[in-house]
Chains A and B, each alone.
Chain A
Amino acid sequence: MTAPSSRFILICSGKGGVGKTTLTANLGIALARQGARTAVLDADFGLRNLDLLLGLENRIVYTAQEVLAGSCRLEQALVKHKQQPNLALLPAGNPRMLEWLKPEDMRRIAAMVGEQFDYVLIDAPAGIEGGFRNAMAAAREAIVVTTPEVSAVRDADRVIGLLNSEGVKPIQLVLNRVRPKMMASQEMLAVDDVTDILALPLLGLVLEDEQVIVSTNRGEPLTLGEGGSPAARAYINVARRLRGEDVPLIDPSKERQGLRARIGRLMHTKIF
């Protein structure tokens, strides 16, 4: 029985390497910690990584492939997270699955997962081709991840066009790898520039943060710990906003205090 309120959320970007999988892992853990039954689907069959970021790579027995083929039950393929049993991963199958996988297959498997979970997060592959379209078929809403760089924003725009034409909504934006210093000196696209250009509401802002790399080394998403690193707080806030909580966004160019920040602000007030 599908919980009618289950949410099927695609996490996508167009451009590769902007932080989709990192967001999926951290958001999955954060939602689970906030009490929501959450499943993360690795829809990047070519280059799967979600298992690794969650530290679950050694516990995979079956994958989406066996579930689709009917050779195992969904429960057997789902890998439950030890510390956060509210979270489960459905691993991607063999890359050769790409040869026969159809959008209907993804829709079918997502629907099965949706029967047991409140949130189904689908980690999309980069690009706008078959793999992405399969992943998109499983989703009702989407989070587009981008960085404040021209190529990432342009590719995000292409993806948003496709999501719009498929009727996926709402579509919300997560801006990743923000560097407040560069924004203050106007050497990085401002937050408003990106949201204006893409015409999407901002769901979250994640700063560039070394701790992201440390946590991937360990296979322990930042949201698992108590640490208040900037990225960890950002991911937790994304989860809260997704659940409908009203959490104010920070403006990185105004966030910084002190004389240097004040001078920075002075430098970009209009004088004539």
Chain B
Amino acid sequence: MTLRDLIDKLLRRQPASAGTAKQRLQLVLAHDRSDLNPELLEQMRREILEVVSRYVEIDMEEGDVSLATEDRVTALVANLPIRRARTPGEGGSGRSGENRPQPVSSPIRS
């Protein structure tokens, strides 16, 4: 945080716009460069989550699949907090994409 940001906060002023411009640009360019529209990305995100959740139980709320770009290289970044691994029997069965409530306290077994 800069002094300017702090003063903006205290005065309830809009923050300076350059930072917003930079963030918006980085996001829109990640999409432009990958040629993926938001719908396709959303579909891919859902499918990735589905596949991963066959093997481990992931936190659907926290899970995030997004595009990031640096030095003209675009990367698909997945951040999927694992609640616990599924037991072998469970994992092979495939269809377990639903958000079945599970005890949050279960330790991660692997």
Q: Residues on A close to B: CB < 8 A?
A: 149-150, 153-154, 157-158, 160-161, 164, 183, 185-190, 193, 197, 199, 266-272
Instruction: Name which residue of chain A comes closest to B29, CB basis.
Output: A157
Find the residue from A153, A161, A186 having the highest chain B CB count within 10 A.
A186
27 contacts between A and B (CB under 8 A): A149-B21, A150-B21, A150-B24, A153-B25, A154-B25, A154-B28, A154-B32, A157-B32, A160-B72, A161-B33, A164-B72, A186-B4, A186-B16, A186-B18, A187-B18, A189-B18, A189-B21, A189-B25, A190-B18, A193-B21, A199-B72, A266-B3, A267-B2, A268-B2, A270-B2, A271-B3, A271-B6
Contacts of B24 in A (CB 8 A): 150
Say whether, besides A157-B33, A161-B33, A197 and B4 are in contact (CB < 8 Å).
Answer: no
B71 on interface, CB distance cutoff 8 Å: yes
Partner of B2, one of A150, A154, A157, A271: A271
Chain B positions within 8 Å of A186 at CB level: 4, 16-19
Q: How far is the CB of B104 from chain A (nearest CB, A)?
A: 32
Distance between Cα atoms of A157 and B18 in the complex (Å): 18
Q: How many A-B residue pairs have CB under 8 A?
A: 59
Q: Of A157, A164, A185, A193, which one neighbours B16 at CB under 8 angstroms? A: A185
Please give, as numbers and ranges, the residues of chain A lying within 8 Å of B18 by CB-CB distance: 183, 186-190, 193
Given the complex, which residues of A lie within 8 Å of B33, measured CB to CB?
A: 157, 161
B residues near A154, Cβ cutoff 8 Å: 25, 28-29, 32
Q: How far is the CB of A199 from chain B (nearest CB, A)?
A: 5
Check A269/B3 contact, CB under 8 A, given A150-B25, A157-B32: yes
